[in-house]
Amino acid sequence: MLRMLTAGESHGPGLTVVVEGLPARVPVDRAAIDAELRRRQGGYGRGGRMKIESDAVEILSGVRHGLTLGSPVSFLIRNRDHENWKDVMSPDPQPPEAKTRRALRRPRPGHADLAGALKYVTDDLRSVLERASARETAARVAAGALVRGLLDAAGVKVRSHVLRIGPAALPPDGVVAWEALDRIEESPVRCSDADVASAMIGEIDRAKRAGDTVGGVFEVVVRGLPPGLGSFSQWDRRLDGRLAQALMSIPAVKAVALGAGFEGGERAGSAFHDEIFFDAERGLHRGSNRAGGLEGGVTNGEELRVRAVVKPIPTLLMPLRSIDLVTKEPEAASVERSDTCVVPAAGVVGEAMVAWVAADALLEKLGGDSLPELLEHLEATRAQWKAFLERR
């Protein structure tokens, strides 16, 4: 139902994103989109690039007087640092000295450098890393912020928080309540526990002093999703698979789990599955939510909870061993301006991607050419659920 295309290089003129399939009359708040972009740039452990850029969207199409038109929406996010890279990233033919300036020939272990060089048969890694860079995720965050207008109208809220950075972590069996996430942005590492947050900051500081990097785990939580989104009928329509693909597409994410999925292989079924209850006050509900709000690829009405593992980013100030692609001689890997830890920022990108999948699933089930029409369909569907549960 929804389609998103992004374009642009890390040090090119800017990033563009085109969103197709969003219905008409969805509210668009440019200030709210810019606020999401600032959240992505924050977080303890970010590097010098975030001090240069001050991301903001320019709306190019598909929006009039603060509402979507039903036609494709396009945004532009300018790269301020492009001023320092005009010859290096110029689309026009350049003299030899411009081609070699800032060229990279020593691939970084863990990065797309070498795989991309082999794919496109180039010994100038700049042609690979400019697009493989996580800078592209700014465009995704803008798209995620755009579809939040639809989700908000449907009563769906999306948040994220950090569970682990290096060895510093929240208790593995604990569930952070939705209400505890109200003040999550007050934490430099976006962690709900002040003591654990302090330990996380310590881990980032230790890694930075060592010229190293550190990874971790974030969780995205969605409240208000109706049951019945997704499908078990085909492999590519299962919502858990779509969420996993969306999150795994974020640079540095190496594993994804729904609910308590990381522990699922360690428990008996009687200790893992969520028992079902019904009473007049709460209606249909579960005693736990280890499934993370999804069963059989379909939402079950509980909170959607999905976790992602973020690896330590591959640019190290004390670089690992590599080779020169031209001479084939041993060399230290290239060093680019980079971050020590991106886990808090990755959680913001994760929110955007989960919001995107949730909005797509809502449109898939409810349809509608305009937001009022979609909301009418949602109310009718809720009435059907109520009648079903009240049958005797």
pLDDT tens for each residue of 270-289 = 999 999 999 888 888 999 99
Over range 122-142, report the average pLDDT.
95
Contact 43, 49 (CB under 8 A): no
Q: Tell me whether residue 264 is exposed, middle or buried, using C-beta atoms within 10 angstroms of its C-beta: 0 to 12, 13 to 18, 19 or more.
A: middle
Q: What angle do CA 13, 336, 90 make, to 5 degrees?
A: 30
CA–CA separation, 72 and 334 (whole Å): 40
Residue 103: per-residue pLDDT: 81
In percent, the amount of the chain with pLDDT more than 90 equals 87
Give the other-Cβ count within 10 Å of 316's Cβ: 21
- Tens digit of pLDDT for each residue in 202-247? 999 999 999 999 999 999 999 999 999 999 999 999 999 999 999 9
48 vs 134, which has greater pLDDT? 134
The predicted pLDDT at position 220 comes to 98
The confidence band for 388, taking pLDDT boundaries of 50, 70 and 90, is confident
pLDDT at position 387: 87
User: pTM higher than 0.85, yes or no?
Assistant: yes
Query: 280 Cβ partners below 8 Å, 6+ apart?
Result: none
Q: Confidence band (pLDDT; 50, 70, 90) for 95? A: confident
Q: Band of the pLDDT at 94, cuts 50, 70, 90?
A: confident
Residues 298, 196: Cα–Cα separation, whole Å: 34
DSSP type of residue 181 = G
Residue 50, pLDDT above cutoff 70: no
The helix (H) or strand (E) run that includes residue 14 is: strand 14-20
Domains recognised in the chain with CATH numbers? 3-390 (3.60.150.10)
Q: Give the per-residue pLDDT at 101.
A: 78
Query: 180-199 pLDDT, tens per residue?
Result: 999 999 999 999 999 999 99
* Minimum mean pLDDT range among 96-105, 147-156, 278-287: 96-105
Segment 317-335, tens digit of pLDDT = 999 999 999 999 999 999 9
How far is Cα 81 from Cα 88, in angstroms, rounded to an integer? Answer: 12
CA distance 303 to 225: 7
Supply 91's token pair: 């689309």
First to last CA, the chain: 37
The secondary structure of residue 56, as a DSSP letter, is -
Burial of 116 by CB count in 10 Å (0-12 exposed, 13-18 middle, 19+ buried)? middle
For every residue of 263-318, DSSP letters joined together read: GGGGS-GGGTS--EEEETTTEEEES--TTTTEETTEE-SSPEEEEEEEPPPS--SS
**How many other CB atoms are found less than 10 A from the CB of residue 260?**
21
